[in-house]
Amino acid sequence: MVIGSKVSSKRYIWLRVPRTSTVTYGKVFFPDGNYKHTHNNYFYEKDRYGDLPAFSVVRHPYTRFVSSLKFIAQQQFLKGKTGRHNFTIPFDNTESLYSFFKNNIKSLRDLDNDIEHKKLFQTQDLSFIKMFFRPQKNFVGFPQVTIFKYEELNKFNTWIEDELGLDTSSTTVYNSSSEELSHIDFSSKRFEELAYELFEEDYDFFGYVKPSTLNLGDNMDEYKDVPEGTFVSEGTPARPGEEHLPAELRTYGIMDSNGYKILTHMGMHGGGGITSEGFD
């Protein structure tokens, strides 16, 4: 899809990676809503529009993975198991969902194996489900594409205003699936590790920090004098390797009578009291 600048004669291809605020920015680029919301890679769009420069937004693979699963569940719930939403993913509980992906990593990474994917998702129509498990690099990892990060949308907004002459002052990221799958414990470190196994090339290509394998006690001396029961806030230093994560998804630790404790992720509540067992 082509976006024309209002401050120059330049034209750009807008590449839309699923779950990177494409709906939000569609409203900025096309306030009347008159556009087709598709997710194609650079060469597909280049064949259609010519050799134009392109831009896109990418997102941390872990948070994008979680957002994708929530959106997939929401759309299937709203529209029923019909048409392109007639697929099967075990959303019943945390263990079944984790096992489904863990046991099928190899198949999911084999991007062109439609026969195997139809068996895996129990569907004949992969047009909806498959795009969420395609690495972002496959959409936008080309020299002609200017990349912005979801975690730094302020830089994207500045570029839009300077290069395209469009107003982003009223832009609010629209998260249509934030309440879905509340019964699934995505704070488990295992899901971050799953995301790395599925999208390893995205971590490397876009410079996202890989999941840490360090013991929490290795580099957390700043906590050695903090007593048990201390309130943990969003300002608390992150575990090494987790600086890229939102505060609510980081792992925190504290020193108690038994030494360093590895505590669970904070969940979505922004803080909690520390006990020797974890957050209360």
Q: Please give the Cα distance from 240 to 280 (Å, whole number).
A: 23
Number of other CB atoms surrounding residue 35 within 10 Å:
13
Q: Please give the Cα distance from 153 to 235 (Å, whole number).
A: 21
**Model pTM above 0.95:** no
| pLDDT by position in tens, the chain (length 280) | 899 999 999 999 999 999 999 989 999 999 888 888 889 999 999 999 999 999 999 999 999 999 999 999 998 888 888 888 899 999 999 999 999 999 999 999 998 899 999 999 999 999 899 999 999 999 999 999 999 999 999 999 999 999 999 999 877 766 666 678 989 998 878 999 999 999 999 999 999 988 764 333 344 454 445 444 443 333 444 455 555 555 545 444 443 344 434 343 333 233 333 333 332 2
Q: Single out the residue of 278, 275, 18 nearest to residue 150, CA to CA.
A: 18
Strand 54-58 and strand 145-149: the pairing is: parallel
Q: Single out the residue of 169, 166, 164 nearest to residue 13, CA to CA.
A: 164
Tell me if residue 25 falls in helix, strand or coil. Answer: helix
